[in-house]
Amino acid sequence: MFASTMQDFPLTVTAILRHGRRVHGGSECVTWTGAAPRRATFAEVAANADRFAAALSSLGVRAGDRVGTFCWNTQEHLEVYFAVPCSGAVLHTVNIRLFPEQVAFVVNHARDRVVVVDDSLVPLLGGVADRLETVETFVVVGDGDASPLGDRPVVRYAELLAGHEPGYVYPELDERQAAAMCYTSGTTGNPKGVAYSHRSTFLHSLAATTPGALGLSDRERVLPIVPMFHANAWGIPYAAFLSGASLVMPGRFLQPEPVTRMIAQERVTLAGAVPTIWADIVRHGEEHEIDLSSLRRVICGGSAVPRALIERLRDRYGVTVLQGWGMTETSPLAAVSHPPAFVEPGTDEDLDWRARTGRVVGGVELRIVDDAGRELPWDGEAVGEIEVRGPWVTASYHLDDAPEKFDDGWLRTGDVGTVDRYGFVQITDRAKDVIKSGGEWISSVELENHLMAHPEVVEASVIGVPDPRWQERPLACVVRRPGSTVRAADLAEFLAGRVARWQVPERWSFVDEVPKTSVGKFDKKVLRLAHEKGDLQVETLDR
């Protein structure tokens, strides 16, 4: 091998911390508190990270040990985000919205030795505290009651910081060692753990700042509503330290009223959240005076964004929507819906592109394969399962090889869709949610998007149900606007103008709400179960 002369310089979270502290030391982390927001510079955040790294050492945390967090998006969580990986330990962000038994499962499975918990979440974590087998110490952020945590040692975050000095000397790290862990929300079976490396985190953060992804610089003020326990808040906290983008942390204030207030008050330019949050904000804006004038872009992810929502945000608030696609297994950014250069911004064509899933981000490789594993063309027509690979894509799960999730070095995403010649992906369904009707595939997501564009429809979820003639047919579960009297026949007629007639559901059920998973996605498993048990009231139209 003809060797290069380049430095063998490791890609680490520590390098991100050094850059943010020195070059962007004046950028801000603002935390919403309900009262006056708390403000800190990146230099102050870094100094506190130093203090907490020293504190972890004093608590006996060693290289490779896992430190859990059970926290909202706050300055302290950001400090822990740096202190834990940079000190050589592994950050395990626990999803507070998991079912209690799943919380216990992931903490035990990761073998967390320390768990950092917000005082407002102590009651929730306290409910499973006696089932946590490996935790030696709880670190509580805030001075609220800690007694629900039981009789294990509890120390206060503020006291730990006060007891240590900045200037901690971080160890030299191997870029391939684990920096952080995140468990998938696991709609089936137990959650599965993904361990990000320092290398993958550095690369993902750098890629996240590029114009083809989030396009971050120190001129942005970013509000990550997406939780820091959900695929690292899409990588935003680390990307902020690399780019100098200031952070506005919402804490536990995720309702439309405080969120719109923090956008207005802190002049947020970019915010990230799942589509339901944006739908809530738009609805809130119909009845209240809200000021989104500083907001130029929102990043939506977690589930497909209805075109109608993108249009409303553009027309009412001048906000451009970007969809991001990815998953815990992909760090998560894999595709972002930047329309190709030939598309004129602000046009309806521009909207059409933004309503698609997204264009493959540089650094990620993607292909679609058919049932036999053959690669399909990027013609915008061929539908197959999407597989990805790349330096921030997982190759396995923690203590669980799960070979069925991998295909010759590619991650099987479980999403089904098309790719066009511009590398633009359109997810048409989850592989397990595709409705196979008479040998043809019906996209449940496409039906849902059309239904949710109907003015009388709040939410719609479509599942496949057994059919004696067609093997499977769609059942549309619809949440109507309060007071609406729209009928199934009206909605079927509405759909008939938008999809092939044979795809229009005969079966309809009006429900009060669509059940959601812990990360806010439609939980079709629950709907299918309800249908099997006969708990859904179904109306059947003539074909």
Kindly state whether residue 244 participates in binding its own copies, applying the rule CB under 8 A: yes
Kindly state whether residue 207 participates in binding its own copies, applying the rule CB under 8 A: yes
Whether 428 contacts 463, CB under 8 Å: no
Among 183, 229, 392, 522, binds its own copies (CB under 8 A): 392
Residues 325-364 contacting its own copies, CB under 8 A: 338, 340-341, 359-360, 362-363
Kindly state whether residue 211 participates in binding its own copies, applying the rule CB under 8 A: yes
CA gap 138, 113 in Å, rounded: 9
Segment interacting with its own copies, rule: CB under 8 A, options 46-54, 118-126, 240-248, 314-322: 240-248
Kindly state whether residue 216 participates in binding its own copies, applying the rule CB under 8 A: yes
Among 131, 152, 421, 436, binds its own copies (CB under 8 A): 421
Kindly state whether residue 395 participates in binding its own copies, applying the rule CB under 8 A: yes
CA gap 82, 18 in Å, rounded: 10
Is 441 considered catalytic here? yes
Distances (CA, A) of 482 to 128, 378, 420, 457, 521: 38, 43, 39, 9, 22
Position of tokens 């902020």? 240
Is 516 considered catalytic here? no
Q: What's the token pair of residue 331?
A: 């760090």
| Residue 231 Ramachandran class (φ > 0 left, ψ -120 to 50 alpha, else beta) | left
Q: How far is the CB of 178 from its own copies (least distance, A)?
A: 4
Crossing angle of helices 236-243/198-208, nearest 10°? 70
Among 143, 159, 174, 490, binds its own copies (CB under 8 A): 174
Fill in the per-residue mask, 266 to 305: x = in contact with its own copies (CB under 8 A), - = not in contact.
----------------------------------------
Kindly state whether residue 397 participates in binding its own copies, applying the rule CB under 8 A: yes
Whether 23 contacts 16, CB under 8 Å: no
Kindly state whether residue 18 participates in binding its own copies, applying the rule CB under 8 A: yes
| Catalytic residue, candidates 349, 436, 493, 513 | 436
Amino acid at 452: M
Q: How far is the CB of 77 from its own copies (least distance, A)?
A: 21
CA gap 175, 182 in Å, rounded: 18
Distances (CA, A) of 530 to 63, 315, 372, 478, 514: 47, 38, 33, 14, 11
Segment interacting with its own copies, rule: CB under 8 A, options 24-32, 247-255, 311-319, 505-513: 24-32
Strand duo 457-467 + 90-93: pairing:
unpaired
Kindly state whether residue 25 participates in binding its own copies, applying the rule CB under 8 A: yes
Kindly state whether residue 422 participates in binding its own copies, applying the rule CB under 8 A: yes
Kindly state whether residue 24 participates in binding its own copies, applying the rule CB under 8 A: yes
Crossing angle of helices 75-86/236-243, nearest 10°? 80
| Catalytic residue, candidates 41, 311, 441, 456 | 441
The residue (of 140 and 179) whose beta carbon lies closer to its own copies is: 179
Kindly state whether residue 90 participates in binding its own copies, applying the rule CB under 8 A: yes
Kindly state whether residue 194 participates in binding its own copies, applying the rule CB under 8 A: yes
